[in-house]
Amino acid sequence: MLGNPEKPGPASLPDRAFTRDRLGRPMRDLRISVMDRCNFRCPYCMPRETFHERYRFLKASQRLSFEEITRVARLCVGLGVRKLRLTGGEPLLRSGLAELVAELSMIEGGEDIALTTNGILLAQHAAELKGNGLHRVTVSLDTLDEAVFERMSGGYGGLHQVLEGITAALEAGLSPVKVNAVVKRGVNDHTVLSLVERFRGTPVIVRLIEYMDVGTRNSWKPEDVVPSAELLRRVRERWPLTPTAGRTQGEVAERYVFDDGAGEIGFISSVTAPFCGDCSRARLSSDGAFYTCLFASQGTDLRSPLRAGASDNDLLALLRGDWSRRVDRYSELRDAGGVVEHPLPKVEMNYIGG
Ligand code: SF4
């Protein structure tokens, strides 16, 4: 059971039990968007101009119920998934989320439940989520500069609430607690060192993320990217670092430790050092579409068969079929030739989570 380290998870499944895609990559991670709404309007994800007051988000009935989510998760665990991550939009806007965590923690064979949140509501929920089986949390926090924070959250404040949320997560025993910071040149890159300094010497792991062309709304330009190599140099000039052992399979961050023992830092380089080669991440949108890549244009509708009485075998055939046909490697293609032409618009990040 996910919450029960005594019961060994899929890790103990023989290799052949993992469903693999055309490039031999197993499906090990399922990222579940439980909510398409958010209480921020980060320009690189949900720019206010598009996601304005009259924007039509999903109705509650259009979102998968906790029962439907748990069923899909259980089937995916049977196909080899061992890590479940709850995302959004902002997942803590989904009421009763702790109940879903409790359901997911009962799935036989899983190993890990994580949450990605903007942290604004975390202080209120951390203890209950932990109590129901959540293991760890990643907080999206791009800067500690109040003015830049307001700009990067689309005019919303609350930096202190996010910091309170991180403290509450640590106090609740969620571990590890990570901070993900998307770095955009000329916007927040000048505030990166103060963010790193703030969490050095604490259990919180900061990860600096290269700004990506997710979705279709953030007017991404390569010149706005600060390559991880440059960020690494900046951090190193201030604090000597040593790389930890290479990335573990499916992991996205290049990890380093501070030589003075003040903890760890990570760099996520989807643009300049893509990691599609061992990408094991599948995604479930809040309205039940199954995606095999963050930059995909199309997903497979699971909600209709779920609500039409499909059997587990029917659903497994859809999931296994999709994954085994998978050849996604968008970031590598982007890296090789610049912008990749997409027949259809890429799916928006608020819809399938990061
Ligand atoms: S671009 Fe797609 S295939 Fe590559 S790492 Fe990201 S999600 Fe995986």
Query: What pLDDT band is residue 9 in, cutting at 50, 70 and 90?
Result: very low
Q: How far is the CA of 278 from the centre of ligand 1 (A)?
A: 9
- Of the chain, the percentage scoring pLDDT greater than 90 comes to 84
pLDDT score of 189 more than 60: yes
- Verify whether ligand 1 is closer than 6 Å to residue 293 (CB atom): yes
* Cα atoms found within 13 Å of the Cα of residue 160, Cβ hemisphere only: 0
Task: Report the distance separating Cα 247 and Cα 253, nearest Å.
Answer: 7
Q: How far is the CA of 354 from the centre of ligand 1 (A)?
A: 11
- The distance from CA 315 to its chain's CA centroid, rounded to whole angstroms, is 24
- The residue with greater pLDDT, 338 or 144, is 144
Residue 133 lies in a domain: yes
Domain count, the chain: 1
Please state the three-class secondary structure of the chain as a single string.
CCCCCCCCCHHHCCHHHCCECCCCCECCEEEEECCCCCCCCCCCCCCCCCCCCCCCCCCHHHCCCHHHHHHHHHHHHHCCCCEEEEECCCHHHCCCHHHHHHHHCCCCCCCEEEEEECCCCHHHHHHHHHHCCCCEEEEECCCCCHHHHHHHCCCCCCHHHHHHHHHHHHHHCCCCEEEEEEEECCCCHHHHHHHHHHHCCCCCEEEEEECCCCCCCCCCCHHHECCHHHHHHHHHHHCCEEECCCCCCCCCEEEEEECCCCCEEEEECCCCCCCHHHCCEEEECCCCEEECCCCCCCCEECHHHHHCCCCHHHHHHHHHHHHHCCCCCHHHHHHHHCCCCCCCCCCCHHHHCC
pLDDT score of 190 more than 90: yes
The residue contributing the CA closest to ligand 1 atom 4 is 276
The residue contributing the CA closest to ligand 1 atom 2 is 293
Residue 72 lies in a domain: yes
Residue 155, pLDDT score: 82
pLDDT score of 353 more than 90: no
Residue 130 lies in a domain: yes
pLDDT per residue over 207-259, tens digit each? 999 999 999 999 999 999 999 999 999 999 999 999 997 666 678 899 999 99
pLDDT per residue over 153-175, tens digit each? 988 879 999 999 999 999 999 99
Q: How far is the CA of 168 from the centre of ligand 1 (A)?
A: 32
Residue 2 lies in a domain: no
Residue 18, pLDDT score: 76
| Mean pLDDT to the nearest integer, 316-332 | 96
Query: What pLDDT band is residue 11 in, cutting at 50, 70 and 90?
Result: very low
Residue 289, pLDDT score: 97
- Verify whether ligand 1 is closer than 6 Å to residue 21 (CB atom): no
The residue contributing the CA closest to ligand 1 atom 5 is 276
Residue 13, pLDDT score: 47
pLDDT score of 10 more than 50: no
Q: pTM value?
A: 0.93
Do residues 224 and 152 lie in contact, with contact meaning Cβ atoms separated by under 8 Å? no
Residue 348 lies in a domain: yes
Kind of pairing, strands 253-258 and 264-268?
Answer: antiparallel
Residue 5 lies in a domain: no
- Verify whether ligand 1 is closer than 6 Å to residue 27 (CB atom): no
- Verify whether ligand 1 is closer than 6 Å to residue 281 (CB atom): yes
- Verify whether ligand 1 is closer than 6 Å to residue 331 (CB atom): yes
Residue 281 lies in a domain: yes
Residue 202 lies in a domain: yes
Mean pLDDT, the chain, rounded, equals 92
CATH for 57: 3.20.20.70
pLDDT score of 288 more than 90: yes
| Mean pLDDT to the nearest integer, 344-349 | 87
Terminal-to-terminal C-alpha distance of the chain: 26
Residue 250, pLDDT score: 72
Nearest alpha carbon to residue 279 among 252, 302, 250: 250
- Verify whether ligand 1 is closer than 6 Å to residue 294 (CB atom): yes
Residue 301, pLDDT score: 98
pLDDT score of 343 more than 80: no
pLDDT per residue over 52-105, tens digit each? 989 999 999 999 999 999 999 999 999 999 999 999 999 999 999 999 999 999
Provide the residue range defining the domain that includes 312: 10-352
Q: Which atom of ligand 1 is nearest to the CA of 296?
A: 2
Residue 160, pLDDT score: 96
| Mean pLDDT to the nearest integer, 18-42 | 95
